[in-house]
Amino acid sequence: MQLYNTLSAKERAALIEEAGKDRLTLSFYQYAKIENPQEFRDHLFLTWNALDVLGRIYVATEGINGQLSLPADQFEAFKNHLDTIEFLKGIRLNIAVEQDNMSFLKLKVKVRNKIVADGLNDETFDVRNKGVHLSAKEFNEMLENPNTVCVDMRNHYESEIGHFDGAVTPDVDTFRESLDIIEEDLKEYKDEKNLLMYCTGGIRCEKASAYYKHKGFKNVYQLEGGIIEYTRQINAEGLENKFIGKNFVFDERRAEKISEDVIAQCHQCGTPFDVHTNCANDACHLLFIQCDACKEEMNNCCSSTCQEIHALPFEEQKALRKGQANSNDIFKKGRADHLPYKKDLRNIFENFNTSES
């Protein structure tokens, strides 16, 4: 009985090409009590592997978080399977704005302690006691309310290429960092301000809204379905689009275009650009923004040092990496000191607090 992926990404890509079928990329999440995550995980893998599902799915005692792709002709079968699971029956599936048959190349279903890493050891709040969900229309209206502070619950490298107009964009590398920072900077407004949050698909806001309600915030709201569902609704209903730039996604596509605005810049030369890449030096693999001209000049590397290493024969590169812990830059997500046009650190609530004083 096969319970794990056995094909490489290259082998899977070849099979997708050979099949010649259109695939759908989608995501969903649900907070729920799962008594035996490992047993549930194995059941999902066996069922979804048979449907040619590929993606990254996390299962924990607190619920499930899935980002995946599947053949379009298997979509109904996939939905029917979800409906056999009580807490997933009728769940909203966030269909990607832009499709790509190669968005995922492996099926990974993993058991985790939590479906969203939050760094919290506080079990006294109920993650299901969430904030008020808002549609795209309601979200736009609340954005216009002067009594609202809108907070982007994503990381800096996500908001750098796209965010809602006027939103506070925390300079954080992880979700867990943002929770305490936002609470501290908005503690004076717990009773009076509308705390309006958004993220990619809604899962981070769901947990954050419950956490901030637990911490005493009175008026907590979140964008239902995140940026993905917002985009679907504004297109379907002809609403004003208040999101500028691209929506960062965690698959091979890297981002979806929501508006024509380019609000970021190449981290190496400063040219307006908003496409992330990973440094071609496998010992670095830094995620950063690199324009086409710099990509060509630097051979897809983030520095001249990495460029020199990447030019070496593979076996020499492998020998240099052996026994060394040189991969820390990957977690900096564009923070590396040698990038002259990386996003500047700042007090994320500086402008908001100044306007209130």
Distances (CA, A) of 91 to 59, 78, 94, 109, 292: 16, 12, 10, 19, 40
Q: Which residues contact 210 (CB under 8 A, 6 or more apart)?
A: 125, 126, 127, 128, 129, 130, 131
Catalytic residue among 199, 205, 266, 279: 199
199 labelled catalytic: yes
Beta bridge partners of residue 24, listed in sequence order: 70
Q: Is 4 exposed, middle or buried (0-12, 13-18, 19+ CB in 10 A)?
A: exposed
DSSP 272: B
CA distance 175 to 119: 9
DSSP conformation letters of 27-89: EEEEE---S-HHHHHHHHHHHHHHTT-EEEEEEETTEEEEEEEEEGGGHHHHHHHHHTSGGGT
Q: List the catalytic residues.
A: 199
